[in-house]
Structure 1
């Protein structure tokens, strides 16, 4: 087991847990820019063809920008109050019954994309990745939350580096895409754009991480740590104690 990568170990545990039930809903969370989507895709590929998995991003459950602007919450996007948690809980309830309508999100326009919504039939493993999960002891019933929670951890310095790289990737892509949310920042020089990105990280994403996301790590069923080279290690697994 020690020779296995963190991804291999996680896949092995999910297969073992699934063997004892009909389906499995996995919540995958962690900081903005830590690599949740990348890990979710790797998991999905590793689980193919049997049992197979579907991936759903929780960004689709964010409130639309129009509502966030009306409530003066645009600068807190990603914080718990910017998610439609009842809609997420309802989707989890529906998928347990066999089928659910899943909303979509467009990272280029930085908004919910109604045209991208899809109807999803319950897969063997559903990977629900992103933010917006209720903390333990919250009002959401057990049936309305994932069966297990996986937390992807990393050093804050590394996450900050990855956040800056991601922001600049979107910023560069917006040069030829006036519909992109990031097009409004194209009048900035590269140093100005980088400084702005770091300001967003310090004022929005870092406080969200320390106040709302990191506390979930202590209650996660499985915690993985990613190093600066993007290597994964399983650092705790409470499912082995169940």
Structure 2
């Protein structure tokens, strides 16, 4: 059974990689936006697709979390509890980076989950590869039919059931909390005093109060504008459910 699940998962990743490679071969569609809910597995899918595309293509993956405003700015604007909502992203910086990378190279800032803030030490310069995968939040509905240099050439939406997303979010929160036991600088160290059942209940309130409204109001509407929709189930099996690139 495990082999069947792994094969199905690989088939879905492989199908997406093949589709992106075909789009690259048939035109200059090389910048891919990958979005979906918090905790849907965007980073993992981006890595798996990248591994499937290599060594035939040069591939870079970048998280859009780097374009979140630093916590100090979010605090000043009263937006810290809305982190991840559209207004918490540096949209101008995002557009500039895409425009510049198309010209050859651009600096991409990075966000650390451990400190829950932008970490200047993680900034990196990305030179335009065959395929660049931008994964995360902060995307807007693409311009049609001709897209600007400041937006992805292809938008992929990673879809999943709300109950699965909540489960994955809570498990991820607990994982960061456990890791904080050996890292006192971790953002999650502030909750080490909680017993695990209390922590899980707290993580669920964060999901219900922040991430679920963001999903319903701002993230999921992008599914209707996506070029490709990928569906993921609780077992992390993925498949292309819609392809509007033909």
Query: Scaled by the length of structure 1, what TM-score is found?
Result: 0.94
Residues of 2 paired with 1:95 and 1:26: CA distance?
Answer: 13
Q: State the match for 1:225 in structure 2.
A: 231
Kept after mapping to 2: 8 A contact 1:27/1:148: yes
Q: Report the secondary structure of 1:188's partner residue.
A: coil
TM-score by length of 2: 0.93
Q: Compute the displacement of 1:29 (Å).
A: 0.2
Match of 1:146 among 145, 152, 156: 152
- Residues 74 and 80, structure 2, Cα contact 8 Å, conserved in 1: yes
- Structure 2 counterpart of 1:128: 134
1:117/1:57 Cα in 2 relative to 1: closer, same or farther (>3 Å)?
Answer: same
The corresponding residue for 1:162 is 168
SS in 1 for 2:78: coil
Q: How many residues align?
A: 236
Give, in angstroms, the shift of residue 23 of structure 1: 5.7
Match of 1:194 among 194, 200, 206: 200
- Measure, in 1, the Cα distance between the counterparts of 2:104 and 2:27: 15
Cα offset, 1:142, TM superposition: 1.9
CA contact 2:229–2:240 (8 Å) conserved in 1: yes
Structure 1 residues 176-230: Cα deviation after superposition (integer angstroms, max 9, x where no partner): 2110000111111111111110000000000000000000001100000001111
Aligned to 2:45: 39
In 2, distance between residues paired with 1:121 and 1:136?
Answer: 23
Q: Give the Cα separation in 2 of the matches to 1:117 and 1:105.
A: 9
Name the CA distance, whole Å, in 2 between partners of 1:216 and 1:35.
17
Structure 2: unaligned runs, 5 residues or longer: 1-7
> 1:178-217 residue pairs with structure 2 within 5 A?
178-217=184-223
Q: Which residue of 2 aligns with 1:30?
A: 36
- The answer for the alignment partner of 1:111 in structure 2 is 117
Secondary structure of 2:225's aligned partner = coil
Aligned to 2:96: 90
Q: Quick one: distance in 1 between partners of 2:28 and 2:221? A: 30
Contact 1:64–1:112 at 8 Å: present in 2 too?
yes
Cα distance in 2 between the residues matched to 1:74 and 1:185: 18
1:59 has 2:65 as partner: yes
RMSD: 1.4
Structure 2 contact 98–151 (Cα < 8 Å) conserved: yes
Q: Is the CA contact (8 Å cut-off) linking 2:157 and 2:222 kept in structure 1?
A: yes
Whether the 8 Å CA contact 1:150–1:220 is kept in 2: the answer is yes
How far off is 1:8 after superposition?
1.5
